[in-house]
Homo-oligomer: A and B are copies of this chain.
Amino acid sequence: MAQIRAGLVGVTGYTGMELVRLLENHPHINLVAVTSRSDAGKKVHDIYPFMQGFATGELEITVPDAPSLAKQCDVVFLAVPHGVAMTMAAAFRKEGVAIIDLSADFRLRDVAVFETWYKAEHAEPALLKEAVYGLPELYADQIAKAQLIANPGCYPTTSILSLAPALRNGFIHTAGIVIDAKSGTTGAGRKAAVGSLYCEVADTFKAYNLTTHRHTPEIEQELSLVAGKDITLSFNAHLLPVNRGILATIYTQLKDGVSFDTVYEAYTDAYEPHPFVRVLPKSALPELRNVRGTMFCDIGLVHDPRTGRLILVAAIDNMCRGASGQAIANANLMHNLPIETGLMLAPMVP
């Protein structure tokens, strides 16, 4: 088959870095153009010495330019900050290029919700209708036909995959759900900031943005659709002294009369067709390292008869499954490739 030509706008951040790694290993998508205003003129291996010896390492970084990229690429990944992405996406769409946007700009279907949580006007509200939420386990068919993918956030990926089967089947109460999520520090991005320094993150741990994290409306939007009713939940984030990974512990209340066996079976059934979701054996719980560098979402289920709670524990790699790898899975679907193409690398432990 013909190789798919991909462009990457924003190579210098962590999600850009991860796209470079994953596309180097991809048998059918070739990275042919990478951009960065600050590093234009250099080769990829100049800024990423770990790519010396690989084809992608030899690529020259250019200034982002929609018409020029449009000529070279079948699909373009946008790994730029929210706000910037929406304008770029519009420029690329005008040139007819398919876009996979890793920012938050097209994830919220209701522009008012976007503007409330992101405290900024949306410059391209018309494009929102065109955008497909790129969570393959929920929207594979629409993704396959889309030209503009809103690649999900890392916390929402974890949360939605964990809660969807329980909500879809009406096993749990929709009120009172708590998501206690813990993320590795790549989640804070690669910008120079005192709060992200090694000596401010190592050997410590903290909560942040409690009750106000911007991924909250994205989670509520998708789970409300799954449940068929409006869901308001408590989502809260913490910063882990690890590079990669999100682990979320999710507290729900099982409805009377629903047995744990029924729930467990519904989960294994729901995810049996989906290679990237691993429902763990009943006694097992996820660990970040088991999903590091991979597309897996590992889900463990625990029932507490004392409190009637169903506790879901889920782990993903925020960089791979929660961003760049998921973007490539979406690209696979858009080009009729098996979703796992180039993405089934055995994880490195430890």
Contacts and interface: CB of A to CB of B under 8 A. Distances in A.
Contact of A199 (B24, B185, B211): B185
A188 B202 CA distance: 15
A118 interface: no
Interface stretch (A92-100, A131-139, A342-350): A342-350
Interface stretch (A13-21, A68-76, A102-110, A141-149): A13-21
Contacts of A192: 192-194, 197
A244 B350 CA distance: 8
A250 to B, nearest CB: 10
Total copies of this chain within the assembly: 4
B207 A313 contact: yes
Contacts of A54: 344, 346
22 contacts: A20-B346, A48-B349, A49-B287, A50-B291, A50-B347, A53-B275, A176-B253, A176-B307, A182-B205, A185-B197, A185-B199, A191-B194, A196-B198, A202-B350, A204-B287, A205-B287, A206-B288, A207-B300, A211-B307, A234-B311, A236-B311, A244-B350
Interface of A: 14, 17, 20-22, 24-25, 48-54, 56, 176, 178, 180, 182, 185-186, 190-194, 196-208, 210-211, 232-234, 236, 238, 240-245, 247, 249, 251, 253, 275, 278, 280, 284-293, 296, 298, 300, 302-304, 306-307, 309, 311, 313, 344-350
